[in-house]
Amino acid sequence: MLLNLFQIRTGDDKLSRAVRVALLEALFASRASLMVASVLGAALSSVVGWLCPSPWIIACGVLLTLSGILRVLSFGVYRPGSANANARKWELIYQLGALSYAMLLGQLTMLTILISSDLRLHLLTAVLSTGYSAGAAGRNTGRPSIAVGQLLLCSLPLSIALFMRPSMPNVLLAISNILFIIVITDITMLTYKTVLEAFIDRQEKLRLATVYEKLSKTDPLTGIDNRTTLKTNLEELLQRGDKTIAVIWLDLDRFKQINDTLGHAAGDLILHAVASRLAELSGREGKLARFGGDEFIVIIPVANADAGVAIADKIREALNEPVEADGTLIDISASIGLSVSAPGFSADKLLRHADVALYEAKARGRNCVELFDPEMEERLLNSKQIEHDLKRAIANGELELYFQPIINLKTGRVKSFEALLRWHPPINGDVPPSLFIPIAETSHSIGPITDWVLEKACAAAVTWPDEISVAVNISPALLTARRLPPVIYETLLKTGLHPRRLELEITETALVEDNPDTRIVLDGFQKLGISLSLDDFGTGYSSLSYLCRYSFDAIKIDRSFMADVYRSSESRAVIQAISSLATSLELTVVAEGIETLEQLEYICGQGCAAGQGYYFARPMPAAKVHEYLDRADLELEVLKIGLAQQQAKKPRRPQEPERRIA
């Protein structure tokens, strides 16, 4: 038992603070029992002092009464929770009070038995000290050192006094009292163990509940609020209704690509950096949350929509700063959708508006801010409908491939045909590719569509004369997919088209992000002997470095320059610059969008090797290609003679067309 007591004493120091505090709170819990004990102690002292007026007994009685009063007062000062702030102090106060009270009661009992010969007083003090010891042991189970200390200080003097006045009943009573002390000590320790386990269990449950509550409210990676918490906060702000609230919803551009190429550790670093930049920018008034993946939301009170746009712009600029990961600087940017509350708005509505605006921002080319406007919702619905219908377009046989000739301006013969996709949905008429191709790209249906286009284009091309190739547009979204070269290879094998007769048209946007996968895919094409054209040149970043980095065979000057060639000296300058650059790099220049003889003359004057446009022919169904080829030779021969005559005259500035050939 002594060993047990010692273990409890040493184990006590290892108790968590929370458990100690909870046990201490339990000590101060029952004020009533302490009051009763103090009143009884005072009454006992008075009765014993009255019937046996020994100065020792009176002094002991007075001290006992005083100790009782002080204990009651200390309980009065103690407030629930005080132990939390100052556990050691309150434990010491309690301990001093309890032990001194027990000691004085024990001494009073001992003095009464030794000094007085009144058996009634013996009985009274003995019963009270034994009763007090048992009660204190039960009450202080949570601190067994106090309980056992009180038991010994209060009960042991009774046995000592009884042994000092030896008689058969006294010795028997003294021994019984010692046995009583032993039994109560044992019970106290057993109860303590049970109580302690229950406390520890409760504390653990409380701790886990707190951890889970925090987890359910925060994003585990960045530690900021999660979607649920943000929504609750937004609902509260809107219910108060005293401020205009801006919801800034942002999505990191190219985050998946960063994750895939640089690894998840770099991705996590970026998310952390974004969270801390946003926390700084949203200030004390703003609330920030991560909406999963690479999406974050800031809600902030604003004076009006313009103020919201200004904050969103600041955020966009702050996110344009690169993030450092493992010594490399990673460029990041974000697309941002913004919505601003109006009276009666719900959190759901405001969030939906911001989401719609974000969709628009992404579609508009990223790294930009879009403020919600109701028309966006209509556009979004429309594109969602297109996205939905497009998924079944191939299976429903709604797609058709048209072909538009590209003419070799030196020989006047058809060089190739560009395959251009047409979609005939069963209702609402044809949808132009400029509308559905971007939707197919974002909704991931561009892969199967391109497979279909490739197969149809190659199958058509094998039926054409050997020297005519087919050009297929490849969406930038597919250039990082390494599956494309094998798909093309299989299509060539299946259709029997020689790779030399296949050209792939790639827009500049695909090359802006210098992705290693793009390089692998493009190299794969060239290894197969397929030629590559840089499509719509001049519209995007038009970096000359693309031409050096990737070995293209041709550049297609975007048709917008051709349309402007009469009005804009800049357009003419661009055409001239591209033509001379391409000549020095030994690339074929194809001029797109030739609609008039004048444009054709101008383009020939610039030394362009090939041309495409309505002037020669509009895109036509596959079935019309043979018929076209039959007449084209003759038509183009006439054209060639005409051109040669024109060229004989000195080169001139283009003038407004006298005749447009539709």
Q: Which partner from the list Mg ion, ligand C2E, none does 614 bind, CB cut-off 5 to 8 Å by kind? A: ligand C2E
Judged by beta carbon, residue 353 or residue 559, the one nearer Mg ion is 559
Tell me the C-alpha distance between 105 and 44, whole Å. Answer: 10
CB of 268 to Mg ion, least distance (A): 39
By CB atoms closer than 10 A (0-12, 13-18, 19+), residue 46 is middle
Residue 451 touches Mg ion, criterion: CB under 5 A:
no
Candidates 219-227, 258-266, 317-325, 592-600; binding stretch for ligand C2E (CB under 6 A): 592-600
Tell me the C-alpha distance between 299 and 339, whole Å. Answer: 10
Candidates 36-44, 267-275, 391-399, 584-592; binding stretch for Mg ion (CB under 5 A): 584-592
Start-to-end CA distance of the chain, whole Å, equals 110
CB of 472 to Mg ion, least distance (A): 9
Judged by beta carbon, residue 219 or residue 505, the one nearer ligand C2E is 505
Of the residues 58, 614, 620, 654, which one makes contact with ligand C2E according to CB under 6 A: 614
List the structure tokens of 188: 């106290």
Tell me the C-alpha distance between 298 and 312, whole Å. Answer: 9
CB of 613 to ligand C2E, least distance (A): 3
Judged by beta carbon, residue 224 or residue 406, the one nearer ligand C2E is 406
List the structure tokens of 276: 């801390």
Q: What angle do CA 531, 521, 406 make, to 5 degrees?
A: 25
Q: HSE (CB half, 13 Å, CA atoms) of 97?
A: 24
Judged by beta carbon, residue 477 or residue 582, the one nearer ligand C2E is 477
The beta strand positions in 374-523, using DSSP E, are 399-408, 413-423, 469-474, 502-507
Tell me the C-alpha distance between 445 and 443, whole Å. Answer: 6
Interacting positions 487-526 with Mg ion (CB under 5 A): 505
CB of 659 to ligand C2E, least distance (A): 14
Judged by beta carbon, residue 295 or residue 564, the one nearer ligand C2E is 564
Residue 461 touches ligand C2E, criterion: CB under 6 A:
no
List the structure tokens of 57: 């007994």
Taking CB atoms, the residue at the shortest distance from ligand C2E is 613
Interacting positions 520-559 with ligand C2E (CB under 6 A): 535-536, 559
Best CA proximity match to 557, nearest among 580, 542, 537: 537
Judged by beta carbon, residue 434 or residue 584, the one nearer Mg ion is 434
Q: Which partner from the list Mg ion, ligand C2E, none does 404 bind, CB cut-off 5 to 8 Å by kind? A: ligand C2E
Candidates 167-175, 215-223, 250-258, 585-593; binding stretch for Mg ion (CB under 5 A): 585-593
Residue 437 touches ligand C2E, criterion: CB under 6 A:
yes
Best CA proximity match to 351, nearest among 170, 224, 228, 215: 228
CB of 468 to ligand C2E, least distance (A): 17
Residue 266 touches ligand C2E, criterion: CB under 6 A:
no
Residue 456 touches ligand C2E, criterion: CB under 6 A:
no
Distances in Å between the Cα of 432 and the Cα atoms of 294, 439, 450 are: 32, 11, 16
Q: Which partner from the list Mg ion, ligand C2E, none does 432 bind, CB cut-off 5 to 8 Å by kind? A: ligand C2E
Q: Which partner from the list ligand C2E, Mg ion, none does 595 bind, CB cut-off 5 to 8 Å by kind? A: ligand C2E
Judged by beta carbon, residue 475 or residue 579, the one nearer ligand C2E is 475
CB of 576 to ligand C2E, least distance (A): 20
Residue 404 touches ligand C2E, criterion: CB under 6 A:
yes
Judged by beta carbon, residue 301 or residue 447, the one nearer ligand C2E is 447
User: What kind and span of H or E run contains 271?
Assistant: helix 264-282
Q: What are phi and psi of 221, to 5 degrees?
A: -75, -50
Residue 505 touches ligand C2E, criterion: CB under 6 A:
yes
Per DSSP, the residues of 555-621 read EEE-HHHHHTTTT-HHHHHHHHHHHHHHHHTT-EEEE----SHHHHHHHHHTT-SEE-STTT---EE
Tell me the C-alpha distance between 512 and 510, whole Å. Answer: 6
Binding residues for ligand C2E, how many (CB under 6 A)?
A: 23
Candidates 56-64, 273-281, 489-497, 531-539; binding stretch for Mg ion (CB under 5 A): 531-539
Helices 264-282 and 255-262: crossing angle, nearest 10°?
Answer: 140
* Number of residues that make up the chain: 662
CB of 501 to ligand C2E, least distance (A): 17
List the structure tokens of 279: 């926390």
Footprint of Mg ion (CB under 5 A): 473, 505, 535-536, 592
Footprint of ligand C2E (CB under 6 A): 404, 420-421, 432-434, 437, 453, 473-475, 505, 535-536, 559, 592-595, 612-614, 619
